[in-house]
Chain A
Amino acid sequence: MNGERPPGPGGSGRAARLGDLDDEQLVAALREVLMAVDPPPKQSVDLAKDIFGLRMVDAELAALVEDAGLAVTRAGDAPRLAVFDADGLGVEIEVIPGPRPRSWQLIGQLFPPAPARIRIRRQPHEAPEVTADDLGRFMIDQLPAGPLSLAIEVDGRRPVVTDWIAVG
């Protein structure tokens, strides 16, 4: 048992060590953890289980290296520009609001320019596919809001998957 408790957290308001908090402070910290009196919605949990089918074990990851337009509000018009990088393959995409509400349009470019098959990883059971032309350009429209990752297959190399980003 500690002989002397260090002063309670002040200033930044962050607890130094949870084990050093007195009863009142510990209860307050617990309150933050327990505020979720509602359990996670079953639909969300089921969806989370379902995504296991999206896993592509032998794919290479194209990491997100640039993401401009992230701070736009939901109703904002600024384009979202994201750049992903894998070894020897770059992917640049621009996402803009589509003509219909809650629908988006994506314009993409592969570097170096090359044709490719591009699959939208969303639901395991339906994976819309588009093709990048000889100049590595592709477009997806009527993209619903939600998490997005692209699986890109260029001849002669392992499939590449982009980091997940949130669209909309």
Chain B
Amino acid sequence: MRVSSEQDIADPVPGLVLAAAAGDARAWDDLVDRFSPLVWSVCRAHRVHDEDAADVFQMTWLRLLENLGRIRDPQRLPGWIATTCRRECLAVLKRSRSATVMDSEHLDVLLGGDAPADEPVLTADQHAALWRAFSHLTAWCQQVLRALIINAEDGRPSYLDVAAELGTRPGSLGPTRGRCLKHLRELLETEGI
């Protein structure tokens, strides 16, 4: 699989930030479309409840709106957005009693750490970088990894179930998983995170 660094060369985000800062509403819409999934996933990673998640979501975008003219490095916008969202999540969690506690037992075991149960393990920058690298994988890799992760029970996905769901041979899943993770790691190396 080729490392898709070519896709990074024409990064439209800095142009969008400049245009939005200059008053281009469509550029703003484009930024919202591009990064809403990231903002939402950071909310969810913090186990912020539905209503609070909507508030955090809005607040994150409001902060970007106010800082459009001040973004120093538009290429690092995903990290800026994730950090801002995380800050708002933590503020809400401190205030609200409605946050559900994350069951991170499996996460702890796999990562070999003692992360507190209600705190995500990734930093905001890592979250953004991983999300971005994942989105640069081929569609097939994204599908396979997503299916393997979502179907995991007790930390072990059923390869038979996943294969049936994806319409592929169970035996091919292991090697595919390995290849896709290797590619993901290569993409992460180029991000330097």
Q: Using CB atoms and an 8 Å cutoff, list the residues of chain A in contact with chain B.
A: 8-15, 17-19, 21, 23-41, 43-45, 47-49, 51-55, 57, 61, 70-74, 146-147, 149, 161, 163-164, 166
Contacts and interface: CB of A to CB of B under 8 A. Distances in A.
Instruction: Determine the interface band of chain B, counting residues with CB < 8 A from chain A.
Output: 35 or more
Contacts of B71: none
A29 to B, nearest CB: 6
B112 A9 contact: yes
A40 B38 CA distance: 9
A13 to B, nearest CB: 3
Given A23-B181, A34-B146, A166-B91, A29 B39 contact: no
A53 B25 CA distance: 8
Interface stretch (B7-15, B116-124, B160-168): B116-124
A146 B107 CA distance: 34
B33 interface: yes
Given A8-B112, A25-B110, A33-B134, A15 B91 contact: no
A107 to B, nearest CB: 21
B114 A13 contact: yes
A49 B35 CA distance: 12
24 contacts: A9-B113, A10-B112, A15-B122, A18-B185, A23-B177, A27-B149, A32-B45, A32-B121, A33-B41, A34-B149, A38-B44, A45-B32, A47-B58, A48-B58, A51-B58, A52-B29, A57-B23, A72-B95, A74-B95, A74-B97, A74-B98, A146-B58, A149-B62, A164-B62
A49 B29 contact: yes
A49 B32 contact: yes
A140 B145 CA distance: 51
Given A8-B111, A15-B121, A28-B106, 13 more contacts: A8-B113, A9-B111, A14-B123, A19-B193, A23-B177, A29-B121, A35-B44, A36-B40, A39-B37, A54-B62, A70-B91, A74-B97, A161-B66
A29 B106 CA distance: 11
A14 B110 contact: no
Contacts, number: 183
B121 A146 contact: no
A18 B193 contact: yes
A160 B189 CA distance: 44
Nearest to B148: A27
B80 interface: no
A26 B185 contact: yes
A30 B134 contact: yes
B4 interface: no
A30 B193 CA distance: 14
Given A29-B130, A32-B122, A39-B37, A48 B189 contact: no
Nearest 6 pairs of A and B residues by beta carbon: A13-B113, A13-B115, A36-B41, A40-B40, A28-B110, A36-B44
